[in-house]
Structure 1
Amino acid sequence: MRHGASTDSAATYVVDDTLATDSITTPSPQKKTPFFKKVGNAFVRLFEWFSDVDTTYIEPQKYNYTAMIQNTNTYERYRITSSQGNDFTFAPEPKIKFGPYFGWRWLFLGYTVDFNELGKKSRSTEFDLSLYTGMFGIDLFYRKTGSNYKISYASFDSNNSINTRPLKNIDFDGINVGIKGFNLYYIFNHRRFSYPAAFSQSTIQRRSSGSWLCGLGYTKHSLKIDWDKLYTTVANRLGEDVAERYMDSNLKMKEIKYTDLSVSCGYAYNWAFAHNWLAAASLSMALGYKNATGNENSDVLSFHDFSMDNFNIDGVGRFGIVWNNMRWFAGMSAIVHSYNYKKPRFSTNSMFGSLNIYFGFNFNRKK
């Protein structure tokens, strides 16, 4: 009996070992996730972490894609003053542009064209690429204006002793301006305040809230002025004696180029004043560190005139009103930029802004 029990016990042990061996040698097959899919999933999880919000204040986007038509009305002004009192302001006629925009989640791409300038050599273009999350945002932009400017203001001394009204709104095609760069900003109260709700319509602000902002910016400016043509214009309108006596040769430059590195700080507020309605305003001031160089062909300005040690205050303001029920949206927004550069012999100020009126819809609901 004891021997039989021992045999039964051994038999049982062999069977169990066999089962264990079979379990190890025949594992169930597992599918490997492709590398690029892993990277994509990680990026989406990272974005969702950045976009984490308090849903009592912010309603997240429920669709993947956005299509929109936008009308953009732009205004520009470029002012140049000299130490001897010359003060010229150039501005083109306001431009009216139309263009399509397309968005996928946090990416938003658009292109606008001034149809009034199609076929002309001097054509202005704008290109914008924006990346928005609840926590931070980045704007990339390229802007090139035409040469169809007017002299909107002119003065030769602080007393305005010379009548310059004959120069008012005179066409002047001797100026050409370009700007390109990016702005990166961080939103402190990103769980309750949605910057994209006001300016990219990718979320809805359900309750009013505000936030402090901080950011970094890089822009590269170019300003070309035909001084000889400006001198001739003044001589033709006011007389050769006035041009020869009062035109300041410190403004005799062919081109000004400067790079602007800035650190900004500001405050923004979203007012949810009615269901699906939002009014927004933000203002940021930036300390800009500018490195500028004059055209190498200039016989007046040198690298010494544009030293690296140069700080100025710049600013950007944004205002908007939008209706958004998540499926459809419409609204308008205004953005104004101001850049300053000052030296003892001359200074420049550039200001440009846009008023956007848009209408669009979201589609492809998230699962």
Structure 2
Amino acid sequence: MLLFCQKALADVDSTYIQRFPQQLSAQTYVAKNFIFLHHDNEDLGISREYMPNNPVSLGLGVTWKNYSFSFGYGFDFMRDKKKGKTKSIDFQYHYYGRKFIFDIFYQDYKGFYDEVSDEKYVLYPDLHLKQISVHAQYVFNHRKFSYRAAFNQSEIQRISAGSFQAGGGINYSYINSDSTLIFENNPKRRILQVGISGGYAYNWVFGKGFYLSGGITVGANFGSDNIKHSFRKIEVSPTAFPRVSAGYNARSWSLRFSFLGNMISFQDIDKKEVNQLNGSFMMSYIHRFNSYPGVMKTVDKIMDKLPF
């Protein structure tokens, strides 16, 4: 993942937000990306959760000033063989700017399971789920509240502060259930939704170097189950996007645990609600360096000439 951020602490109350003095840092992390479906059918008295069995990813990253690059990979031996095998492509891009935050998801998963009882699994190797979504939010109290302090740790939230936010997004979901039981009469579904949302986030600073951040946006999605009909039949569904981060900042290193999830809903052919949740967990360690190789100055000069 390549992440570019704004270059200056402009329009910020320095009493609340400050930047770390080091310009170069490296991080190691453990991450778990996910996407799953929850489906209730009261008529049949069943409830199913279609979970993927993708492995945990191990990753490395480097940050120079406001430019960051990180890469992670999930090894096959880190998955539970009893839960089947999931083939997946999962790209997530989360941009935490001063006034705006953006989230982009491209997730393509095939192969799911349902834990019907303790250590007993039903496998759905043909279930194919694809999700493409883009979300944006405007942060109103951006002079005193920093998303970067909570989810990038490129800044420090010195005094607790929060902010209201508002925005919206677009979601596209493709489901092919083949021989599974989720949509018996219509195994392929294509759902396109656009929505509006708003919410609140807060950074709580306590102790010396500790922080806890939490926020949620809720809203409504307007969508169609058949894109070819050009939204002739519009359905309205709730949506929610929670974020949580907690960690510790020392002068030369930081620890962080974070979670974010994007929940959308739609209806099956019998008008029963289906909930889809996608997102990620991450645990990371960041180390900052007081000195850096001379080649970074050359990189910095090149970056300064870029238009963003």
Q: What TM-score, normalized to structure 1?
A: 0.66
Output the amino acid matched with 2:286: G
Cα separation, partners in 2 of 1:331 and 1:307, compared to 1, 3 Å: same
Instruction: Name the residue aligned to 2:92.
Output: 128
Q: Which residue of 1 aligns with 2:276?
A: 350
* Alignment check: 8 A CA contact 2:106 2:132 kept: yes
The corresponding residue for 1:285 is 218
The whole-number CA distance in structure 1 between the counterparts of 2:57 and 2:103 is 20
Which has the larger strand fraction? 2
Q: CA deviation at 1:350?
A: 0.8
Answer whether contact 2:54 2:86 (CA < 8 A) is retained: no
Residue in structure 1 matched with residue 30 of structure 2 by the alignment: 71
Q: 2:188 pairs with 255, 262, 286, which one?
A: 255
The amino acid of 1:352's aligned partner reads N
Task: State the partner residue of 1:52.
Answer: 11
* More helix as a share of residues: 1
CA shift in 2, pair 1:125/1:112, >3 Å: farther
From 25, 36, 59, the equivalent of 1:99 is 59
- The reply on whether 1:268 has 2:232 as its aligned counterpart is no
User: 2:186·2:269 contact (CA, 8 Å) conserved in 1?
Assistant: no
* Conserved? CA contact 2:54–2:88, under 8 Å: no
Letter in 2 for 1:129: Y
Return the alpha-carbon distance in structure 2 between the equivalents of residues 265 and 195 of structure 1: 16
SS of match in other structure, 2:226: strand
Counterpart code for 1:322: G
Report if the CA contact (8 A) 1:111-1:126 is conserved: no
* Code of the aligned partner of 2:197: S
- For the structure 1 residues 125 and 111, does the alpha-carbon distance in structure 2 shift closer, same or farther, using more than 3 Å as the test? farther
Give the match for residue 258 of structure 2: 333
Query: Contact 2:248–2:255 at 8 Å: present in 1 too?
Result: yes
CA positional deviation for 1:287: 1.4
Q: Is 1:215 matched with 2:167? A: yes
CA contact (8 A) 1:108 1:130 kept: no
Check whether the contact 2:53–2:85 (CA below 8 A) recurs between aligned residues. Answer: no
Identify if the C-alpha distance between structure 1 residues 308 and 48 changes in structure 2 by more than 3 Å, giving closer, same or farther.
farther
Secondary structure, counterpart of 2:135 in structure 1: strand
Is 1:185 aligned to residue 137 of structure 2?
A: yes
Q: How far has the Cα of 1:128 moved from its partner?
A: 2.6
Structure 1 pair 303–169 and aligned structure 2 pair: CA distance change class (3 A): farther
Residue 180 of structure 2 is aligned with which of 230, 233, 243?
230
Match of 1:317 among 216, 220, 242: 242
Select 2:149's aligned residue among 193, 197, 204: 197
Q: Distance in 1 between matches of 2:139 and 2:237?
A: 24
Distance 1:270 1:151, change over 3 A: same
Tell me how far apart the structure 1 counterparts of residues 219 and 212 of structure 2 sit (CA, whole Å).
24
- 1:325-352 Cα offsets, whole Å, 9 max, x none, are 3532111011222110136723321123
- Corresponding residue for residue 115 of structure 1: 75
- 1:196 match: secondary structure: helix
Tell me the alpha carbon deviations over residues 314-333 of structure 1, each in whole angstroms, 9 at most, x when there is no partner. Answer: 10111111212353211101
Aligned residue number for residue 245 of structure 1: none
Taking a change above 3 Å as real, the CA distance of residues 344 and 122 of structure 1, as seen in their structure-2 partners, is: closer
Deviation, 1:307, is 4.5
Q: 1:174 aligns with which of 126, 134, 140?
A: 126
Structure 1: tracts of 5 or more residues without a match: 1-42, 154-164, 232-247, 295-301
Distance in 1 between the 2:153 and 2:73 partners? 22
Query: Does residue 114 of structure 2 align to residue 151 of structure 1?
Result: yes
The answer as to whether partners of 2:256 and 2:284 remain within 8 angstroms in 1 is yes
Give the superposed CA RMSD: 3.4
Q: How many angstroms apart in 2 are the aligned matches of 1:345 and 1:303? A: 19
Any stretches of 5+ residues in structure 2 without a counterpart? 79-83, 301-308
Partner of 2:142, secondary structure, is coil
Counterpart AA for 1:319: V
Aligned residues: 283
Output one character per residue of 1:79-98: Cα deviation in whole Å (capped at 9) or x when no partner. 34568546543123474221
Helix, strand or coil: the match of 2:150? helix
Alpha-carbon separation, structure 2, partners of 1:362 and 1:167: 43
For residues 285 and 148 of structure 2, what CA distance do their matches in structure 1 show? 16
Amino acid at match of 1:212: F
* TM-score, structure 2 normalization: 0.78
Q: 1:67 to 1:216 in 2, by over 3 A?
A: farther
Query: Aligned partners of 2:170 and 2:25: how far apart in 1?
Result: 28
Distance in 1 (CA, whole Å) between partners of 2:110 and 2:68 is 26
The residue matched to 2:12 in structure 1 has which SS? coil
CA contact (8 A) 1:76 1:94 kept: no
